[in-house]
Chain A
Amino acid sequence: MIFSFEIPLLILLLLTAAGAILVKDLMSAILLLGCYSFFLSLVWAWLGAVDVAFVEAVVGAGLATVLFLLTLFGTAPKDSRLRRPPPPMAALIGLPLLGILLLYAAKDLPQFGDPNSPANSHISPTYLEQSFHDTHTPNVVTSVLMDYRSLDTMVETVVIFTAGIACVLLLRRKAS
């Protein structure tokens, strides 16, 4: 099932992703990647995933772009003109095979937007119907994230803390 608003957004998505890949200058590639993240968050907002769209706009388009830019400013721009070496044989054979497999599997996927598809009909109606009674939060995403799966979210902060420690240890200058 095709949502009518989707086609121009999907084309913009593909164009910015192709730009981020094909452009020769690393700085332009990273700014195009930020545009890609922003279009992605627009598509998600249209698909009804507002929380994911917010997170992608803040963390993906904002924080990831800033991190990329900081790395680029910290390293010299002299190899920002990129070479394009000939691809290895394994990539030339393996990736098209993977692509054919994925495209062949498209026939068996349920239609996108179908309310009766397995993903939308198995357990998620129970969450939608029960969550306010259980947690008194109108936003179902918040109630699942912070209540049903609160332990998971807590351990996720441990992951982010570990990543922060790793960054500090890697970027620490020697005392000498």
Chain B
Amino acid sequence: MVDVMSALFQRPNFLIFVIIFLWGLYIMVTRYNLVKKLVGMYLVQTSVIFFLVSISAKKGATVPILRSTTDTVNAIDYSNPLPHVLTLTAIVVGVATLGVALALCSAIYRTYGSLDEEDILKRLE
């Protein structure tokens, strides 16, 4: 128990990731308003990306842009570029899916006159 706690306090990024991830998931499950559910979804997406970027950090390293193109590169001086590339794709695709979800929300509102899940279910019957 104690070693788990100390391991967590040495990794505050991971603690924040777990809190935001679970809280966003909880919002997605429990709230009835569709836009509020999407706020939760956005929090889940960004928290996972936050975790991946935290893995790529190196203590004392700079951004992955080569300072000199003639010297040999010392990999310890630059932070890890591969998670950055993957998360760039993930952010853009995440916002694209968010746009589709929001368009669905306004289409639902135009048909059923509400964004509340229970009202929509009542009107569907």
Contacts and interface: CB of A to CB of B under 8 A. Distances in A.
Is B a genuine binding partner of A? yes
Interface of A: 1-3, 6-7, 10, 13-14, 17-18, 20-21, 26, 29-30, 33, 36-37, 40, 43-44, 47-52, 55-56, 59-60, 63-64, 67-68, 70-72, 74-76, 79, 82-85, 87-88, 90-91, 95, 98-99, 102-104, 106-107, 109-115, 117, 119-120, 123-125, 127-129, 132, 138-141, 144-145, 149, 152-153, 156, 159-160, 163-164, 166-167, 170-171
Contacts, number: 273
Contacts of B82: 123-124, 127, 144
B62 A109 contact: no
B60 to A, nearest CB: 8
Given A6-B13, A20-B39, A112-B13, A48 B96 contact: no
Contacts of B50: 40, 43-44
B109 to A, nearest CB: 4
Contacts of A63: 95
B79 A48 contact: yes
20 contacts: A21-B39, A26-B35, A40-B50, A50-B63, A59-B91, A64-B95, A82-B31, A82-B36, A103-B18, A106-B7, A119-B83, A120-B58, A123-B82, A132-B69, A138-B66, A138-B69, A140-B81, A141-B88, A145-B85, A145-B88
Given A21-B40, A30-B39, A156 B4 contact: no
Given A44-B50, A55-B88, A112-B14, 16 more contacts: A29-B36, A29-B39, A36-B43, A40-B50, A79-B115, A79-B119, A91-B26, A120-B58, A120-B80, A123-B82, A127-B81, A129-B73, A144-B82, A160-B92, A163-B100, A171-B107
Interface of B: 3-4, 7-8, 10-16, 18-27, 29-33, 35-36, 38-40, 42-43, 46, 49-50, 53-59, 61-66, 69, 72-73, 75-76, 78-85, 87-89, 91-93, 95-100, 102-107, 109, 113-116, 119
B interface SS class: helix
A99 B89 contact: no
A64 B42 contact: yes
